[in-house]
């Protein structure tokens, strides 16, 4: 499967009719700075589709992109970044919580974990919470280009143990290693409405 087209539809801060039009949503979540927006750009091949930044906390609303006219990619604000202003943090967590755990939209969840750092306490908590929803979850082990070649096998083995029972996709937005498998996984079939 290939991504042939991608376009920004809109940025939203809560429920919106675009989420109810029946197009399956693939939602990207993860720690701030894990590389959610970069992943979207790398998968679509459009460098500036989603805004990325060295500074965590870049994405502050839900950005919806139409992919191949068949799916939405939903870029979400990250969690776990303590330096974000308290008020902003509260708003963002509310938005995330609502979208993932309250709204009943047709979603497949892509959880990004920085492979170089490994799953944080927040990542494991999020993963456990998401499991209770019964939604389909895909875990992307991002930034594997940052791991020394000689350490890579051992690192991936360890991540496999820590994240046992989940579909794991090692990836790098820089080198695009693993892109075919990941795109196939994301666009195959329809996410089940929960």
Ligand X SMILES: Nc1nc2c(ncn2[C@@H]2O[C@H](COP(=O)(O)OP(=O)(O)OP(=O)(O)O)[C@@H](O)[C@H]2O)c(=O)[nH]1
Q: Of residues 9-48, which lie at the interface with Mg ion (CB under 5 A)?
A: 36-37
Name the residue with the smallest CB distance to ligand X.
78
Is 143 a binding residue for Mg ion by CB under 5 A? The answer is no
Answer whether 99's CB lies under 8 Å from 76's CB. Answer: yes
Strand pairing partners for 7?
66
Query: CA angle 10-15-20, nearest 5°?
Result: 80
Is 174 a binding residue for ligand X by CB under 6 A? The answer is yes
Query: CA angle 74-75-79, nearest 5°?
Result: 125
- Residue among 37 and 173 whose Cβ is closer to Mg ion: 37
- Counting Cα atoms < 13 Å in the Cβ hemisphere of 7 gives 5
Is 13 a binding residue for ligand X by CB under 6 A? The answer is no
84 binds, among ligand X, Mg ion, none (CB under 5 to 8 A by kind): none
Strand pairing partners for 142?
114
Q: What's the residue count for the chain?
A: 194
- Residue among 36 and 71 whose Cβ is closer to Mg ion: 36
- Residue among 54 and 132 whose Cβ is closer to ligand X: 54
Is 56 a binding residue for ligand X by CB under 6 A? The answer is yes
> Which residues are within 8 A (CB) of 57 and not within 5 positions of it... i.e. 6 or more apart?
32, 77, 78, 81, 83, 84, 88
What is the closest distance, in whole angstroms, from the C-beta atom of residue 38 to Mg ion in the complex? 8
Is 119 a binding residue for ligand X by CB under 6 A? The answer is no
- CA 142, CA 173: separation in Å to the nearest integer? 7
Is 145 a binding residue for ligand X by CB under 6 A? The answer is yes
Is 146 a binding residue for ligand X by CB under 6 A? The answer is yes
Is 170 a binding residue for ligand X by CB under 6 A? The answer is no
119 binds, among ligand X, Mg ion, none (CB under 5 to 8 A by kind): none
- Residue among 25 and 33 whose Cβ is closer to ligand X: 33
């Amino acid at each position: 499967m290939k991504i042939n087209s991608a376009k920004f539809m809109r940025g939203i801060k809560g429920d919106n009719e675009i989420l109810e039009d029946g197009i399956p949503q693939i939602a990207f979540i993860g720690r701030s700075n894990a590389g959610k927006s970069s992943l979207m750009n790398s998968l679509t091949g459009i460098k500036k589709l989603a805004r990325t930044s060295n500074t965590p906390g870049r994405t502050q609303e839900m950005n919806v992109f139409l992919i191949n006219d068949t799916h939405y990619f939903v870029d979400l604000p990250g969690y776990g970044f303590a330096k974000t202003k308290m008020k902003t943090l509260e708003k963002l967590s509310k938005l995330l919580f609502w979208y993932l755990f309250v709204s009943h939209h047709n979603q497949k969840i892509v959880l990004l974990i920085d492979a170089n750092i490994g799953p944080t306490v927040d990542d494991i908590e999020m993963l456990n919470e998401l499991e209770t929803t019964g939604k389909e979850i895909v875990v992307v082990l991002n930034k594997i280009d940052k791991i020394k070649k000689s350490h890579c096998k051992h690192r991936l083995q360890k991540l496999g143990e820590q994240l046992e029972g989940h579909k794991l996709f090692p990836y790098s937005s820089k080198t695009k290693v693993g892109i075919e498998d990941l795109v196939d996984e994301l666009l195959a079939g329809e996410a089940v409405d929960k």
